[in-house]
Amino acid sequence: MTPEQARRVIFEVLADIAPEVDESTVDDHHDLTEQLDLDSMDYLNWMVGINEETGVDIPQRDVSEFLTIAGAVAYLVTHSPEPAGATTGSPGGLAAG
Amino acid sequence: MIDFLLPSLGADMDRAKLNLWLVEPGDTVHKGQIIAEVETEKAVLEVECWDEGVIEELLVQPGPEWLSVGTPIARIRALESADTPGPVETPRSPGQKPLPARPPAGRPEPAPPIRHLAHELDVDLSSLQGTGEGGTITRSDVRAAAAPTGKPATAIPISGEQRVKASPRARFLADRLGLDLSDVAATGSGGMVSAADVEAQPVPAREPEDKVAAMRRAIARSMAHSKREIPHYYLATHIDLDEALRWLEIQNAERSVGERILPAALLLKATALGLREIPDLNGHWIDDSFRPSSSIHLGVAVSIREGGLVAPAIHDADQLDLGEMMARLRDLVNRARSWRLRSSEMSDPTMTVTNLGDRGVETAFPVIIPPQVAMVGLGKVVDTVVAVDGSPAVHPVIHATLSADHRVTDGHRGGLFLATIDRLLQEPQSL
């Protein structure tokens, strides 16, 4: 998954939870719950939505990675399954994942 | 023949407009089935049917007129139970809209936001093959099904106006701009109105319908009534959550993100069990006397993003295990925020909890929602120095408050109730 794809999923799910949020005004590096007035249920729904859309599991210990948009994008890029056919691309098979 | 009456829709809510019928004459209906959508000043509510039978006639058509609670809105022919030993299958009429169905047993239940999206886009979930993990139905599946190239459209308007397919953001923008979604040219897949379509629409076609202002008026009525009539007394205590949160973390470590339990579910369960032990806080003050309730329907105050508040009920909250409590809470909050509550949820909470901890508030002093006689306020979890076996330790601590009606209970009973919640939270495994 590319950062652009991750970002698109993240905001698509967010739009269902907080429809008034305008993507262009969100600071990628600022605490998301504080910035967008999300409560713990909104925040959980957002992670559940991302999990459903991408198949990326978000174990309890990694929840803190999702405090910002930047953190969430980085997590999804690192943890999303490699697309079919791309697994042999990395010399020595040391692709991140 | 049974006259189906517009049901009670909550305290101080004595009228509603009929938005939509979800059944038509000839349809078989069962208990608990959603048969119509109505709108009060406070919320859009799904009306459940409490009779078994066949819809004989719809007495009221959708429209802008206010209907009083108790108005007959449909006529239902009762089924002869002796003649119908099994579930009754009536042939579907060609124009019959399928019920909002859940997928067949054995498949994972779609999350509430997915069910909501399916409802918005008129997609029948039972006809979908999920592509998510373990066959879960995802947003993309629902959106694909709404497209003409996917499954054939399952919903046919049967009465009233057809619900326009629109994304939640499009709906929000249209509401704010005062646009009628049916006036917006849709460019999205399956004729779905997207946010961009709404933004492209030049001039507002009508005055915005201000749901939030209507909700504020309803809150004003209810809260002024409370402060005028109910002699509140207030109690507060600190509850050490060290044991409870440690235990919850262990539980959550093994759960997938969709099954994770928030501390709120634990606190609600402890409150519900506390009401079992102190039942004189659970019920209603009607006609100058207290009427205790034998069931515990825990109201949960849910703030609406656009402003305002609703406090629908989690039914029989004391009988749910924590996983069920969490699922019900999540479903309720999501539906409240998308203005899709059910009539029974608004009409029968027996005591309410407000949890303002998420907003950084340490202590809440609730105003009782009449005709209830008590309300619990929960603040934020704060790391606090506490004495443990004579030595200082830092533990997560929450401030729990009780507002109660002095006509029904005194501080002593109220104090016992808060102490009971505290005790229950020290044994989280028993919740």
- What pLDDT, in 10s, does the model give residues B58-97? 999 888 888 988 899 999 998 765 444 444 343 333 333 3
Higher pLDDT, A78 or B102: A78
Q: Which residue ranges make up each domain of chain B?
A: 2-149, 150-206, 227-430
- What are the tokens at A20? 């008034």
The partner residue sitting opposite A41, judged by closest CB among B169, B257, B262, is: B262
Higher pLDDT, B158 or B184: B184
Question: Which candidate in B257, B335, B381 is best for mutational testing of the A interface (most A CBs within 10 A)?
Answer: B257
- Buried b / exposed e along B385-415 (16+ C-beta atoms within 10 A): eeeeeeeeeebbbbbbbbbbbeebbeeeebe
- What pLDDT, in 10s, does the model give residues B32-51? 888 988 888 777 788 888 88
Rounded mean pLDDT, B230-242: 97
Homologous superfamily (CATH) of B227-430 is Chloramphenicol acetyltransferase-like domain (3.30.559.10)
- What pLDDT, in 10s, does the model give residues B214-224? 888 888 989 99
B331 touches chain A (CB under 8 A): no
Homologous superfamily (CATH) of B150-206 is E3-binding domain (4.10.320.10)
- What pLDDT, in 10s, does the model give residues B185-215? 787 767 778 877 877 776 554 445 577 788 8
CB A72 within 8 A of CB A10: yes
CB B393 within 8 A of CB B213: no
Residue B286 phi/psi, 5-degree rounding, is -135, 135
- What are the tokens at B152? 């054939």
d(CA B425, CA B431): 8
Query: Residue B20 — very low, low, confident or very high, per pLDDT cuts 50/70/90?
Result: confident
How far apart are the CA of A88 and the nearest CA of chain B, in angstroms? 24
B306 pLDDT more than 80: no
How far apart are the CA of A21 and the nearest CA of chain B, in angstroms? 9
Q: Do A57 and B330 touch (CB under 8 A)?
A: no
- What pLDDT, in 10s, does the model give residues B84-134? 444 434 333 333 333 344 444 455 566 656 766 776 677 777 777 777 766
Fold held by B2-149 = OB fold (Dihydrolipoamide Acetyltransferase, E2P) (2.40.50)
The partner residue sitting opposite B138, judged by closest CB among A44, A47, A52, is: A52
Single-letter residue type at B253: A
